[in-house]
Structure 1
Amino acid sequence: MTVAVSIIFGWLIITTIVGVIAGRNQAFSMENYFVGGRSFGTFLFYTTAAAEIYSAFAFLGLAGWSYSKGMSIVYAMIYSSIAYGLYFFIGPRINRLGSRLHYVSQPDYIEDRYESRWLGVFVAVIGVIFTIPYLQLQIMGAGMIVQLASGGAISWKIAVVISFIAAVIFVYVSGLRGIGWTNFLQAIIMLFGMVGIGFVFPHRFFGGTAKVWEILQEIKPTHLSLPDSSGLGIFWVFSVAFICGLGFWMWPHIFTATYAAKSEKVVRKNAVILPLYSLTMIPIIVVGFTCAAKAGIDPAFAETITKPDHAMLIALVKNFPPVLAGFIGAGGLAASISTSSGLILTASNLLARNVIQKGFAPDMPDMKVAKLGRAFVPVLTILAVLLAIFAPSMLVSLLLVGYSGVTQFFPAVVLGLFAKWQTKTGIVLGLLAGLATVIAIKFMGVPSPMGLHEGFVGLIVNFIVVIAVSTVTPKLSTKTLERFESTLS
């Protein structure tokens, strides 16, 4: 496994150096650090967005879910269609507002749109809270990838520490510009790794994909239907696809990345071409089904897979050359670090800009905010690493917890871009009601109707409250409405 480990960490060193160099000759400022000076062109924005979106979940979670549960994983393909169609309409408007009104975070927009400094603070706090599980997912994924690809030669805890020291270095030094250029490299190896592995797995074990479906149909037919082997049915798939599709661009790090594009045209082009990258999820899903078929006919193989998220890499290490394990491991590590670096930077931005400056120190200079945000980078990384070590969970489950929370921003964001009738009180109470619904179903045992996902139920409650309360509470000022209308026109 020396070869695999050398490839993985060689790639990590290369990307870290590139990330540091990217910010070396750039003037340090809040806009440069948090939104890359709003200078990303079509190609750099494309690779940045792709690497931010397709994370450790794409490498391990997709395969683990399809291996252990089955057909309910199709929600991942459905929600990407919803997400990119939505982005074509909202992405250019978000970029325009950010450029013309000098926003550097998602709460900047919500605070300004709804005339409430404390709403901005609250949204920032919620954004950080639900970003942490997503960051935890990336950290766990990085550790799993290196441990499994090395055949157990390196423990996942050591792998996590090494990997995230590297991430902290280039995020701390270069901010979003460093993330953008490392993501350029990460996206390339992720693309080849994700596509390539989907071909080699079924051919190695069964001579092609046709045999995979024949075996599963014979020994585990529920794996290929809904409800699937875990009992998840069409209502669950529909509701999860819906909240993930609508919540896709509500993630604070992806929302903020939209400010980095140098023009609306860049954003609109990427709304059209980014869906092509989502096709790389299909080969990973095929790998999961292949592992399920192999485990169904080979008990010895099944015994080697102790956790579903480990299925792909364990099969890879035990049945393929170390060089391939090294390249796939490097791709998976790239996916993890590319997303986690954006999460770390954005959470630091939310705390420094929207909680501390906007909430408690409005006279703090922007330069000091940028320096404070940079100081938060290692602190938040250490917190997420500790959570990954002491509070692990299945990768897809962690991701869906985060989605349930950030999707509750959807009414505030989208209504703010296209409507005038909603009120500040309606938005605040709707957000609180949606979050309370998610917490009640997810953590307090309240049953969800028809097996719908808690995030979807929360979003419905959120919208109902926004509509009801907005009909009986004071409207936003004419001055604010006219300012946003003129900015967006």
Structure 2
Amino acid sequence: MTVTIQLTIIVGYLLLALAIGLVAYRLTDRTAEDFYLASRTVGTIVLLFTTFATLLSAFTFFAGPNVAYYEGPEWILVMGLMDGIIFAILWYVIGYKQWLLGQRYEYVTLGEMLGDRFASKRLRGLVAGVSLLWLFPYVMLQQVGAGTALQALTEGAVPYAVGAGLITAFMILYVVVAGFRGIAWTDTLQGAFMLVTTWIAMIWVLAVVGGPGAASAALEAEAAHHLALGSDHYTPQWMLSTAIVIGFGVAMFPQVNQRFFAAGSRTVLKRSFALWPILCVLLFVPSFMLGAWARGLDVAIPEGENVLPVILAEFTPVWFAALVIAGAMAAMMSSSDSMLLSGSSYFTRDLYRPFVEASLSDRREDLLARVGVVVFATASFLASLVNPATLFELGDAAFSGFAQLALPVMIALYWRKTTRTGITAGILVSQLFYLSSLFLAVVPSTYMGWTAGLVGMGVGLVVTVGVSLVTTPAADERRAIYFDGLGAD
């Protein structure tokens, strides 16, 4: 009976999201721009919450509380405070200029924007290829998170593969039907829903255990070092490296980066990034503190399982725990569907169109994009069944991989002397450096406490600037389009 209640609530919530997608489908034009960007008409609340919900992934709901459980709640400073502020700044520095360029030249992807400036379909393909490479493990992260969450919540009645398969089937169906407009609408619902239920969950657990004082006292008795700032894990170098890499990586995530093009006006864009740090703190404080307090509440966390579903099952009613997990799964779906939509646009517009069929019609591109969603989601699901890494490892690899793109892109946006050879070399070298740190023992993963992801960003910066200084711009580069007549303020 308990499992039936849990599954009814979870499936019911997902069906509600799908119903909203069906309504959006009826309002969606059969054009690529409307499918990918809702015709650039998104307002402040929807832009803010669709970006918010797009990032409410398994990394947030499960990896974050897990880190807080094992290492302490300083994770709030990394993700909730530093990262919120860093990304808000980048939303202005990178996002606002991208919006101005998108309004003038109708760009849909980052690769289009760079390829047009540097007159290079190879650079366009490189950016798309790198983005799809790192998008794959992050989509996997959502499927792994959904599978482990359902397995833990139902105490094994729903196996890992079934949970991962459920979220995959729903996100395929949803993206193919809804497009950006439907995704943005449900993101707004899911972002607000998770914000409210996470706070209710924390208050509920604290009420059961005797309040925050009792929870903190129990944590001090079990792991006193969790209440002290800093540890062998939370070194200044690690915290700064992680916050910077995640902030810059988020700005390059395709599903986030494309939202820079979708705002209906500059006022919409500016209001959204001004409110961003507040939303981050409001979400991450309750979810990460629940993870930290669980350490002292005598909650047994089976090896390989996530803290949040276990503590909810222990201290809240079955229906409420299922509701929170349903919301978390819907948030994971909102991350995955946005990733799949953006990934399909990178494939069709930056790989298929330039290298296979230049005269691709809007109708044919629309169909190809939907087929690409099915193929990409299915492949990542199959990969998630083969000994997946931990949620933190998957998320950290993806954030750091995307972060390698950020500084070459920023330099190109603001430095006229950037050359095609310079930006291409900067992207390639930093990517190869970071990939080597993951897979080759001869390349360290840390440098005096600083992570390879951050060091790789520095490498990309130096190479982009250095090579640009010693190379001549190609004759067909459009050096003025990022600067002349944009009206930025």
TM-score (norm 1): 0.93
Q: Cα 1:345–1:479, aligned 2, differ >3 Å: closer, same or farther?
A: closer
Decide which of 73, 76, 79 is 2:79's aligned counterpart.
76
Q: Which residue does 1:481 correspond to in 2?
A: 479
1:117 aligns with 2:121: yes
Task: Give secondary structure in 2 for the equivalent of 1:305.
Answer: coil
Tell me the alpha carbon deviations over residues 110-155 of structure 1, each in whole angstroms, 9 at most, x when there is no partner. Answer: 1112221101101101100100111111111122223333343322
Aligned equivalents of 1:419, 1:195: Cα separation in 2 = 44
Worse overlay, 408-417 or 212-221: 212-221
Deviates more, 1:336-345 or 1:207-216: 207-216
2:5 is paired with a residue of what secondary structure? helix
For residues 260-314 of structure 1, the C-alpha deviation after alignment (integer angstroms, 9 at most, x for no partner) is 21122211110111222212111111011111112xxx3xx33x4322x511211
The aligned counterpart of 1:389 is: 385
Q: Following the alignment from structure 2 to structure 1, what is the Cα–Cα distance between the partners of residues 476 and 118?
A: 12
Mean Cα deviation higher: 254-263 or 378-387: 254-263
Q: Bigger CA drift: 278-287 or 467-476?
A: 467-476
**Counterparts of 2:395 and 2:135 in 1: how far apart (Å)?**
10
Distance 1:127 1:275 in 2: 25
Structure 2 equivalent of residue 95 of structure 1: 99
1:305 pairs, out of 268, 277, 302, with 302
State how far apart, in whole Å, the 1-side matches of 2:206 and 2:473 are. 59
Say if 2:466 is the partner of 1:463. Answer: no
Contact in 2 for aligned 1:88/1:272 (Cα 8 Å): no
Corresponding residue for residue 281 of structure 1: 284
Tell me which moved more, 470-479 or 390-399. 470-479
Mapped to 2, the partners of 1:486 and 1:366 lie a distance apart of 30
Amino acid at match of 2:15: I
Q: CA–CA distance in 2 between the matches of 1:478 and 1:222? A: 59
**C-alpha distance in structure 2 between counterparts of 1:215 and 1:151, whole Å:** 26
Paired residue total: 480
- Counterparts in 2 of 1:367 and 1:426: CA distance versus 1, 3 Å: same
User: Retained in 2: the 8 A contact 1:56–1:137?
Assistant: yes
Query: For the Cα contact (< 8 Å) 1:171–1:341, is it kept in 2?
Result: yes
* Deviation digits for residues 345-369 of structure 1 (CA, Å, limit 9, x no counterpart): 1111111111111223222223322
Q: Please say if 1:108 is aligned against 2:112.
A: yes
Given that residues 139 and 160 in structure 1 are in contact (C-alpha distance below 8 angstroms), is that contact kept between their aligned partners in structure 2?
Answer: yes
SS at match of 2:470: coil
Kept in 2: contact 1:353–1:373 (CA 8 A):
no
Structure 1 residues 134-182: Cα deviation after superposition (integer angstroms, max 9, x where no partner):
1111111122223333343322321222222222112112211121122
1:92 CA drift (Å): 2.0
Alignment partners' CA distance in 1, 2:199 and 2:429: 41
CA distance in 2, matches of 1:374, 1:487: 36
* CA positional deviation for 1:479: 6.8
Unaligned runs of 5+ in 1: none
Residue by residue over 1:211-257, the C-alpha shift from the partner in whole angstroms, topping out at 9 and shown as x without a partner, is 3333444442333446536x342211111111112222111111112
SS in 1 for 2:116: helix
Q: What is the identity percentage for the equivalent residue pairs of Structure 1 and Structure 2?
A: 26
Paired residues of 2:41 and 2:263 also in contact (CA < 8 A): yes
Residue 42 (structure 2) aligned to one of 40, 43, 48: 40
- Please tell me whether the aligned partners of residues 59 and 194 of structure 1 are also in contact (alpha carbons under 8 angstroms): no
Match of 1:209 in 2: 212
Aligned AA (2:296): A
| 1:352 corresponds to | 348
| Residue 86 of structure 1, CA deviation | 2.1
Quote the Cα distance in structure 2 between the aligned partners of 1:389 and 1:479.
45
Give the aligned CA root-mean-square deviation in angstroms.
1.9
- Pick which of 264-273 and 83-92 moved more: 83-92
- Report the alpha carbon displacement of residue 72 of structure 1 after superposing the two structures with TM: 5.1
Question: For 1:11, what is the secondary structure of its paired residue?
Answer: helix
Query: Contact 2:59 / 2:391 at 8 angstroms: preserved in 1?
Result: yes
C-alpha separation in 1, matches of 2:360 and 2:270: 35
Give distance in 2, aligned partners of 1:226 and 1:451: 17
Report how far residue 203 of structure 1 moved: 3.4
1:163 maps to what in 2? Answer: 167
2-structure distance, mates of 1:118, 1:175? 28
1:391, distance to aligned residue in structure 2 (A) = 3.5
